[in-house]
Amino acid sequence: MSNRVEIFEAGPRDGLQNEKRMISAAEKIALIDLLSQAGFRRIEVASFVSPKWVPQMADGAEVLAGMTRVRGVSYAALTPNLRGYEGARAAKVDEVSVFASASEGFSRANLNATIAESLERFGPVLKAAKDDGIPVRGYVSCVTDCPFDGPVPPGDVARVVGWLRGAGCYEVSLGDTIGQGTPETVDAMLDAALNEWDAAHLAGHFHDTNGRALENVDAALARGLRVFDACVGGLGGCPYAPGAAGNVATEAVLAHVEGLGFQTGLDAGVIADAAQMARGMRPH
Ligand code: HMG
Ligand code: MG
């Protein structure tokens, strides 16, 4: 099994979308430009969602226009519908993400749609992206617990993973949106998800509300997953998921997996500087 782990850096998106203070495009660009020097293959830099829903992400086009692209880095953005996809494409993102939920309660709160309706909306995004040659990543939120519906049956996660695979996503990231997962519930969820797709196509996205994200990373590593989403400085959360604290910190995942003997190709010094910059963006 591979001894490489990839950290998918989501700080400029998942990290900053939940901050109370409006963070300027210039500050976001400074963070992205620093992260671009750290060795990441993929960095999620923006969301092309409704500015009424997430005002913090309204300046995605400005951010993409102002940042310095580094060759070899794929710059990603969230796109909930065709309108978002078109904005992301015009801003010249390298890849987009569609994001679904395994639970109806969170789907309604985050997308104002049932799971089925949200998947229906993603269809045209996936088709347009395919025509344009733009890779699409899929997310499934609330893979173990939902802030509205409680524990989520693993089969419900597997069903959405199967849909995203069938619709053409190149990878699916499994989100413990509110950080309530345990190694046991993560393992049970993965047991079901792996019936739909192999570990090479799945990523772990663990929020750290209960301080168990690294244990959940270990549970996923044991199942063969080698891609983990993280945010420098441990910032973040979802404004539509009450109780969602920060994402697991990039620097913590990096130290953890390298301590286990995995290679990441990342520069810990640059990441430490970026983490300090990201933490400095919080209101004091
Ligand atoms: P809606 O209100 O049902 O849809 O929202 P609508 O079509 O009525 O649109 C409302 C307004 O937004 C309209 O403007 C639209 O034109 C506009 P108005 O006519 O009222 O002036 N609009 C847009 N504007 C810009 N870009 C767009 C866009 N679409 C509509 N793409 C909608 C439905 C999906 C738009 C909304 O629910 C939404 O934007 N949701 C996104 C919420 C979000 O970004 N959440 C955080 C990201 S997910 C997350 O963090 C979880 C993750 O990290 C994994 C994990 O942790 O589990 C990925
Ligand atoms: Mg998240």
* Mean pLDDT of each 10-residue bin along the chain, 284 residues long: 92 92 96 98 98 96 98 98 98 98 98 98 98 98 98 98 98 97 98 98 96 97 98 85 82 98 98 95 72
Ligand 1 atom 49 nearest Cα: 238
Ligand 1 atom 53 nearest Cα: 14
Residues 31-59 as b/e (b if ≥16 CB within 10 A, e otherwise) read: bbebbbbbbbebbbbbbbbbeeebebbbb
Q: Is 139 in the pocket of ligand 1 (CB under 6 A)?
A: yes
Residue 163 identity (one-letter amino acid): W
pLDDT of residue 265: 98
Ligand nearest to the CA of 53: 1
Q: How far apart are CA 27 and CA 12, in angstroms?
A: 10
pTM: 0.97
Q: Which atom of ligand 1 is nearest to the CA of 207?
A: 56
Ligand 1 atom 4 nearest Cα: 112
Most informative mutation of 17, 50, 177 for ligand 1 (most atoms within 8 A of CB): 50
pLDDT of residue 151: 98
Ligand 1 atom 34 nearest Cα: 111
**Domains of the chain and CATH, by start:** 6-280 (3.20.20.70)
Residue 19 identity (one-letter amino acid): E
Say whether 169 is catalytic.
Answer: no
Q: Which atom of ligand 1 is nearest to the CA of 141?
A: 57
Most informative mutation of 49, 82, 247 for ligand 1 (most atoms within 8 A of CB): 49
